[in-house]
């Protein structure tokens, strides 16, 4: 059994157990700036006090009665400050993707009746300011960047005083674990976003079970690099796992600077999605293809060894000797490119190619694949560190503390304290999704070895050709994406005579192939016509 806490209790947990000098860090004017645990506690409490002065509260701690605050920003310490501060007054955070289209943002802000929104920069301010007249509840926009003529978020913290801070402490003590911490809007099948209501209990129990299952150890000296969007539940729960485990969080400047930031920070851990791992691997392979002579032969020899790697079955003495040699002369450069300090990487959000998992793990870069939807806070399964706890091609065993079953039609269902409170203002959709306490994920899967779960497709993505044949597109798409010349593709063919694919070529690899074949190429359109 675990003792459920509120998410914002992570700050007090750190102060008591392992106060850090680098709880949160980010680049400012080209230099890394760190905020200690005490810095974060002080800033967040003042932020909460300022929100109270603005009239923000949790009222009766019901989802409908509590005020809503939105945020649309890239990852940065201010994102977490806002999240914690909003929680501490019992209000509810509504995070938005920076790339969300204005019409969808307008719908979400109106649906949640958002009162204030915090934005990243001038671009985000302009985006929100353009729709502000259409959102009656929205009172003001605050920016994290200092911009002329635009309210800076520090204006909220600056109104703090001792009396307000005492109110903050009183409110914090009164917030129940079942109170909604956030409403995360996900795309609906009808195109109308659905607001997933997640309580402190939902998210904390999921992170606590995940810590026990992976496990993350309390490692106060460890560092993590964060670059996946914080508005997504995957990176959000990973963040709170870091906070409760004492891992310092460093925010990458952008997706383009991840490589540089990895070498600067030398993190012990980071979370990612399969597509980014694929891009890393593609760049590695592209670099390998430019080698010549013995170096090139050694490179592809090492990769071929990695493709045969199985963490559960020994390849034999000769294979193990070869792999040790490959790690010493080839794979060590891969580890150096990632900062040379990686203990493990967690990937989720989509299926990861088993080939990549084999090669990275063979290269002593442990990658653990997990799975779970927003509606489950989100983790359902995760591959483990311990012997027999990981199987390539699966998303691992279910985490401790929850129940998982697979229905006759293959749908994965889960039950436990991690399951969402429901869809905001949509009891009809909630009733369709949670039946007798079981969350129906819409994902199709199967048990492997009676222990691991393998995702085979999405229930609603299965389609039937005009000839009556059912097609599961995901396995085909995943297999095709193993081809280095394919960037992305989607399988189509519902009610058609045959199945087709729309393909986005991997132009970097195609250009190299054309050069090797002495084919003249003038532009990318010419490449696709070859």
Q: With contact defined as beta carbons under 8 Å apart, do 69 and 91 qualify?
A: yes
Q: With contact defined as beta carbons under 8 Å apart, do 269 and 224 qualify?
A: yes
- Higher-scoring residue by pLDDT: 495, 116: 116
In the chain, the percentage of residues whose pLDDT exceeds 90 is 79
- State residue 495's pLDDT score: 67
How far is 106 from 101, CA to CA, in rounded Å? 9
- State residue 493's pLDDT score: 80
Beta-strand ranges (E) seen in 120-202 are 140-143, 180-186, 194-199
How far is 141 from 154, CA to CA, in rounded Å? 12
Asked if pLDDT for residue 405 goes beyond 60, the answer is yes
How far is 379 from 3, CA to CA, in rounded Å? 18
Quote the tokens at residue 513. Answer: 């192939």
Q: State the average pLDDT over residues 475-500.
A: 79
How far is 316 from 286, CA to CA, in rounded Å? 30
Which among 312, 339, 330 has a CA at the least distance from the CA of 449?
312
| Residues 231-279: tens digit of each pLDDT | 999 999 999 999 999 999 999 999 999 999 999 999 999 999 998 999 8
Looking at beta carbons, which pairs linking 220-223 to residues 24 or more positions away fall under 8 Å?
220/18, 220/20, 220/246, 220/247, 222/246, 222/247, 222/248, 222/268, 222/269, 222/343, 223/22, 223/247, 223/248, 223/249, 223/250, 223/265, 223/266, 223/267, 223/268, 223/269
**Where does the pLDDT of residue 156 fall: very low under 50, low under 70, confident under 90, or very high at 90 and above?**
very high
In this structure, how many other beta carbons lie within 10 angstroms of the beta carbon of residue 287? 12
- State residue 470's pLDDT score: 60
Quote the tokens at residue 54. Answer: 């603005």
| Residues 411-432: tens digit of each pLDDT | 999 999 999 999 999 999 999 9
E strand or H helix that includes residue 107? helix 102-112
Collapsed DSSP state (helix, strand, coil) of residue 493: coil
Collapsed DSSP state (helix, strand, coil) of residue 75: coil
- Exposure string of 390-404, with b = 16+ CB inside 10 Å and e = fewer, is bbbbbbbbbbebbeb
| Residues 302-338: tens digit of each pLDDT | 999 999 999 999 999 999 999 999 999 999 999 999 9
Q: At what angle do helices 507-516 and 274-289 cross, to 10 degrees?
A: 20
Q: Please tell me which of 36-50, 281-295, 487-501 the model is most confident about, judged by mean pLDDT.
A: 36-50
Collapsed DSSP state (helix, strand, coil) of residue 67: coil
Using alpha carbons only, what angle is made at residue 42 by residues 37 and 46, rounded to the nearest 5 degrees? 145
- State residue 173's pLDDT score: 97
Which among 417, 395, 414, 398 has a CA at the least distance from the CA of 406?
414
The topology (CATH level 3) of 463-528 is GMP Synthetase; Chain A, domain 3 (3.30.300)
Q: Where are the domains of the chain?
A: 9-175+214-270, 463-528
Q: Would you tell me which CATH number, out of the four given (3.30.230.10, 3.20.20.70, 3.10.450.40, 3.40.50.12780), belongs to the domain 9-175+214-270?
A: 3.40.50.12780
How far is 175 from 433, CA to CA, in rounded Å? 28
| Residues 435-477: tens digit of each pLDDT | 999 999 999 999 999 999 999 888 776 665 756 666 767 778 7
- State residue 317's pLDDT score: 97
Q: With contact defined as beta carbons under 8 Å apart, do 276 and 346 qualify?
A: no
- State residue 215's pLDDT score: 59
- State residue 167's pLDDT score: 98
| Residues 176-202: tens digit of each pLDDT | 999 999 999 997 555 789 999 999 999
- State residue 526's pLDDT score: 61
HEC-encoded secondary structure of 190-255 = CCCCEEEEEEHHHHHHHHHHHHHHCCCCCCCCCEEEECCCCCCHHHHHHHHHHHHHCCEEEECCCH
Write down the residue that tokens 């070498």 correspond to: 263
Asked if pLDDT for residue 372 goes beyond 60, the answer is yes
Collapsed DSSP state (helix, strand, coil) of residue 478: helix
Q: With contact defined as beta carbons under 8 Å apart, do 38 and 63 qualify?
A: no
- State residue 63's pLDDT score: 95
Looking at beta carbons, which pairs linking 251-255 to residues 24 or more positions away fall under 8 Å?
251/24, 251/25, 251/26, 251/27, 251/75, 251/76, 251/77, 251/225, 251/226, 251/227, 252/75, 252/225, 252/226, 252/227, 253/27, 254/74, 255/227
Burial of 48 (0-12, 13-18, 19+ CB in 10 A): buried
Cα of first residue to Cα of last residue in the chain, in angstroms, is 61
Collapsed DSSP state (helix, strand, coil) of residue 292: coil
In this structure, how many other beta carbons lie within 10 angstroms of the beta carbon of residue 465? 15
- State residue 60's pLDDT score: 86
Pairing state between β 381-382 and 367-371: antiparallel
Please, which residues have CB within 8 angstroms of residue 358's CB and are 6 or more apart in sequence? 306, 307, 308, 309, 310, 392
E strand or H helix that includes residue 411? strand 411-415
Q: With contact defined as beta carbons under 8 Å apart, do 210 and 241 qualify?
A: yes
Please tell me the least confidently modeled range out of 203-217, 238-252, 353-367, 388-402.
Answer: 203-217
Which among 169, 244, 304 has a CA at the least distance from the CA of 13?
244
């Amino acid at each position: 059994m675990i003792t459920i806490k509120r998410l914002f209790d992570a700050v007090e947990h750190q102060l008591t157990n392992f106060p850090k000098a680098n709880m949160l860090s980010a680049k400012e004017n080209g230099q890394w700036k760190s905020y200690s645990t005490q810095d974060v506690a002080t800033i967040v409490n003042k932020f909460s006090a300022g929100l109270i002065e603005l009239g923000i509260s949790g009222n009766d701690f019901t989802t409908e009665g509590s005020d809503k605050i939105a945020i649309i920003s890239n990852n940065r310490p201010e994102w977490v400050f806002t999240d914690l501060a909003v929680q501490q007054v019992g209000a509810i955070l509504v995070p938005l993707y920076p790339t969300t289209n204005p019409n969808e943002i307008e719908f979400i802000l109106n649906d949640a009746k958002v009162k204030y929104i915090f934005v990243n920069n001038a671009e985000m301010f302009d985006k929100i300011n353009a729709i502000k007249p259409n959102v009656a509840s929205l009172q003001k926009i605050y920016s994290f960047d200092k911009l002329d003529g635009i309210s800076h978020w520090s204006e909220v913290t600056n109104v703090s005083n001792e009396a307000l801070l005492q109110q903050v402490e009183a409110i914090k003590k009164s917030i129940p674990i079942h109170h909604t911490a956030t409403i995360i809007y996900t795309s609906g099948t009808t195109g109308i976003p659905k607001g997933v209501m997640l309580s402190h209990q939902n998210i904390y129990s999921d992170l606590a079970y995940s810590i026990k299952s992976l496990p993350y150890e309390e490692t106060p000296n460890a560092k993590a690099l964060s670059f996946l969007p914080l508005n997504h539940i995957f990176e959000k729960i990973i963040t709170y796992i870091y906070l409760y485990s004492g891992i310092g969080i460093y925010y990458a400047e952008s997706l383009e600077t991840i490589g540089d930031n990895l070498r600067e920070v030398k993190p012990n851990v980071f979370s990612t999605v399969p597509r980014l791992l694929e891009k890393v691997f593609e760049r590695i392979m592209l670099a390998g293809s430019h080698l010549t002579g013995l170096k090139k032969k050694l490179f592809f020899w090492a990769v071929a060894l990695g493709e045969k790697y199985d963490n559960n079955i020994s390849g034999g003495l000769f294979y193990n000797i070869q792999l040790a040699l490959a790690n010493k002369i080839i794979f060590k450069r891969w580890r150096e490119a990632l900062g040379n300090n990686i203990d493990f990487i967690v990937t989720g959000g989509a299926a990861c190619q088993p080939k990549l998992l084999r090669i990275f793990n063979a290269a002593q870069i442990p990658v653990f694949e997990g799975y779970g939807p927003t509606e489950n806070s989100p983790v359902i399964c995760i591959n483990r560190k311990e012997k027999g706890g990981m199987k390539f091609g699966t998303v691992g065993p279910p985490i401790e503390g929850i129940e998982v079953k697979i229905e006759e039609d293959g749908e994965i269902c889960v039950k436990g304290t991690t399951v969402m409170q429901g869809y905001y203002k949509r009891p009809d959709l909630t009733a369709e999704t949670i039946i007798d306490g079981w969350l129906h994920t819409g994902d199709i899967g199967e048990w492997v070895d009676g222990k691991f779960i393998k995702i085979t497709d999405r229930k609603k993505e299965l389609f039937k050709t005009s000839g009556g044949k059912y097609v599961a597109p995901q396995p085909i798409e995943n297999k095709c994406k193993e081809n280095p010349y394919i960037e992305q593709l989607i399988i189509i063919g519902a009610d058609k005579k045959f199945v087709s694919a729309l393909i986005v070529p991997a132009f970097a690899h195609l250009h190299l192939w054309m050069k090797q074949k002495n084919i003249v190429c003038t532009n990318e359109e010419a490449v696709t016509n070859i």
